[in-house]
Structure 1
Amino acid sequence: MDSDLGLQGIPLTMLWTLHNRASEAKRADGVLSDPECVRIYDSIDFDYLGMFGAPDGTHAVRSARFDSALRQWRAGHPGGVVVELGAGLETQFQRCDDGAVRWLCIDVPEAIDLRERFLPSSQRCRYLPMSALDPAWLDEVDSAEGVFVSAQGLFMYFDADEVREICTAIFDRFADVELMFDTIPPWFSRKTLRGFHRTRNYTAPPMPWGIKRSQVPTTLRAWNPRAMAVSVRSYGPSRGPLAASLPVFERFPLLRDLPPAIARARSTL
């Protein structure tokens, strides 16, 4: 089973996350309000259930956490620039636009082509069709008012050296920057390398970079000493047994390393 949108491999995951976010946004008790996501989801003739299976709210929880952090940053950086690595069909600009923030969406050409169909670029929300691994995007960022770099559901698809190169370049280039990204634990990375069959129609792409939550701060600082004020929080589904058990995981160090996590790191000025 394949998409008729010209997507495969990692770019196809943008429909997986769209499926989960839109399904959550349609709920009366959803953790994410996202009418643009729902519009796009309903506009694409695609068998989401057949490909990805029943939705869960994990990606919606992740987006809501990123929104909250971005709004905090934006309040102290009026007119700053948000760089969204691996933007896909994420609608964070539409959810968080305050009329002044400037946005730069970066993704591979086939992803940007699809994004343009449903979310046309604008003067304050520009698109760059390139890999996040291409350092040329750094030259496109006006950092005078501060920079917030967002990478949702991206770094796990790279290897550790590639993630290190991206993070190091970001902190070396920008004096006032905050980087936010999510991680998967090593046990889940190994699972994807063996073959994570979401359904009989869909096998998730390999995710080589897995890291324990407890190791994120020391790893970032070892990569670049300007990565300071590092905080890491676990996250999970929006509801159900796993969501209810997450506070229990927080109380025990060994268990904290089991769920996926979200990291934030600010530069030293």
Structure 2
Amino acid sequence: MTGKHTVDLTGVSETALMTLLVRAKEARRPDGILDDPMAIHLVDSIDYDFAKFGWAKRQDMALRALVFDKHTRRYLVDHPRATVVALAEGLQTSFYRLDASDVLGSHEFRWLTVDLPPMIELRRALLPTCDRVRMCAQSALDFSWMDQVDADDGVFITAEGLLMYLQPEEALSLITECAARFPGGQMMFDLPPSGLAVLSRRGVRTSRRYRVPPMPFTLSVAEAADLVNTIPGVRAVHDVPSEPGRGAVLNALLWTVQRIPVLDPVRPVITLLEFG
């Protein structure tokens, strides 16, 4: 493993390596649903026992990335000089995928990564620099990162793979503060299926050697929709459907669970908030 960067991440931060692996494996496929060369670069640059996560074929993290990319891109088309704030970004490579998009024209959008110091250090060591990208080495729950955001041209906040690991009061406080500080902005987050909350709170095992950390925060589809009534400044709530995956059976399942309300408890929640 000579020449590779050794990483020593634990707890929730270690999940960044798992999601990275899923995206990179998908991007390597000739029929992959996600074009993510930077994810491949990161996996190839890191000295880590990725096999501990298990090798089951899965598309979930790639599908999640596609959904977040789609709605971030939509906002940037309307607000080309906006700031995207990626909370607890981990080893996501969203900026590089969006920056490669022809849809965004002049590419004037700016990016702020907010994450804990060890993750920021890793990103600085392994990812290319860009004068439109800034990094803030602190917890997303330390709201002083908001002082670094110039909201004049719009703000799009992503909490991809974050809120589920927070305590409920922490997650709701973060949403509340974002709504108060960034009127006209948007925020997007994802949560595990509400019907699997008991399992999520214990931590899901992906292999004999790895268990995902407990996820104490969940919302049902209805509870997420009700944020428009319970959090001041939330103007609209959108239940975001999954993007199409690979395979007719998977796509039939995705289509079905998104459209039959009785199945809401067994599908992940992806929510887009508009602040006003």
The bucket for the TM-score relative to the shorter chain is: over 0.9
Instruction: Report if aligned partners of 1:229, 1:265 keep a CA contact under 8 Å in 2.
Output: yes
Q: Secondary structure at the match of 1:7?
A: coil
Instruction: Report if aligned partners of 1:188, 1:210 keep a CA contact under 8 Å in 2.
Output: no
Q: Identify the residue that residue 134 of structure 1 maps to in structure 2.
A: 142
Q: Distance in 1 between matches of 2:262 and 2:147?
A: 41
Q: Which amino acid aligns with 1:184?
A: P
Q: Secondary structure at the match of 1:257?
A: helix
Q: Distance in 2 between matches of 1:264 and 1:92?
A: 17
Cα separation, partners in 2 of 1:80 and 1:70, compared to 1, 3 Å: same
Q: Secondary structure at the match of 2:214?
A: coil
Q: Identify the residue that residue 164 of structure 2 maps to in structure 1.
A: 156
Instruction: Report if aligned partners of 2:238, 2:273 keep a CA contact under 8 Å in 1.
Output: yes
Q: 1:227 aligns with which of 234, 243, 247?
A: 234
Instruction: Note the alpha carbon deviations across 1:47-72, whole angstroms, 9 max, x for none.
Output: 32333432411011011111111111
Cα separation, partners in 2 of 1:11 and 1:239, compared to 1, 3 Å: same
Q: Distance in 2 between matches of 1:193 and 1:249?
A: 23
Q: Which amino acid aligns with 1:59?
A: M
Q: Which amino acid aligns with 1:79?
A: R
Q: Distance in 1 between matches of 2:121 and 2:270?
A: 28
Instruction: Report if aligned partners of 2:22, 2:62 keep a CA contact under 8 Å in 1.
Output: yes
Q: Identify the residue that residue 254 of structure 1 maps to in structure 2.
A: 262
Following superposition, the deviation at residue 228 of structure 1 comes to 1.8
Instruction: Note the alpha carbon deviations across 1:9-40, whole angstroms, 9 max, x for none.
Output: 00000000001111111112211111111111
Following superposition, the deviation at residue 157 of structure 1 comes to 0.2
Q: Distance in 2 between matches of 1:73 and 1:236?
A: 17
Q: Identify the residue that residue 132 of structure 2 maps to in structure 1.
A: 124
Instruction: Give the CA RMSD over aligned residues.
Output: 1.9
Cα separation, partners in 2 of 1:200 and 1:236, compared to 1, 3 Å: farther
Following superposition, the deviation at residue 239 of structure 1 comes to 3.8
Q: Identify the residue that residue 78 of structure 2 maps to in structure 1.
A: 76
How many residue pairs get matched?
Answer: 265
State which drifts further: 225-234 or 76-85: 225-234
Q: Identify the residue that residue 58 of structure 2 maps to in structure 1.
A: 56
Instruction: Report if aligned partners of 2:203, 2:214 keep a CA contact under 8 Å in 1.
Output: yes
Instruction: Report if aligned partners of 2:192, 2:268 keep a CA contact under 8 Å in 1.
Output: yes
Following superposition, the deviation at residue 174 of structure 1 comes to 1.2
Q: Distance in 1 between matches of 2:53 and 2:84?
A: 32
Instruction: Note the alpha carbon deviations across 1:232-266, whole angstroms, 9 max, x for none.
Output: 13438934544431222233211023110211111
State which drifts further: 248-257 or 170-179: 248-257
Task: With the length of structure 2 as denominator, give the TM-score of the two structures.
Answer: 0.90
1:85 aligns with 2:69: no
Instruction: Report if aligned partners of 1:56, 1:237 keep a CA contact under 8 Å in 2.
Output: no
Alignment of 1:65-214 (within 5 A): 65-97=67-99, 98=104, 99-214=107-222
Q: Which amino acid aligns with 1:93?
A: F
State which drifts further: 7-16 or 50-59: 50-59
Q: Which amino acid aligns with 1:231?
A: H
Instruction: Report if aligned partners of 2:194, 2:265 keep a CA contact under 8 Å in 1.
Output: no
Q: Identify the residue that residue 238 of structure 1 maps to in structure 2.
A: 245
Q: Distance in 2 between matches of 1:131 and 1:80?
A: 22
Q: Distance in 2 between matches of 1:16 and 1:29?
A: 21
Instruction: Report if aligned partners of 2:110, 2:133 keep a CA contact under 8 Å in 1.
Output: yes
Q: 2:34 aligns with which of 11, 32, 43?
A: 32
Following superposition, the deviation at residue 80 of structure 1 comes to 0.8
Instruction: Report if aligned partners of 1:236, 1:260 keep a CA contact under 8 Å in 2.
Output: no
**Please, which runs of 5 or more residues in structure 2 have no aligned partner?**
none
Q: Which amino acid aligns with 2:232?
A: P
Q: Secondary structure at the match of 2:139?
A: coil
Q: Secondary structure at the match of 2:235?
A: strand
Q: Which amino acid aligns with 2:272?
A: R
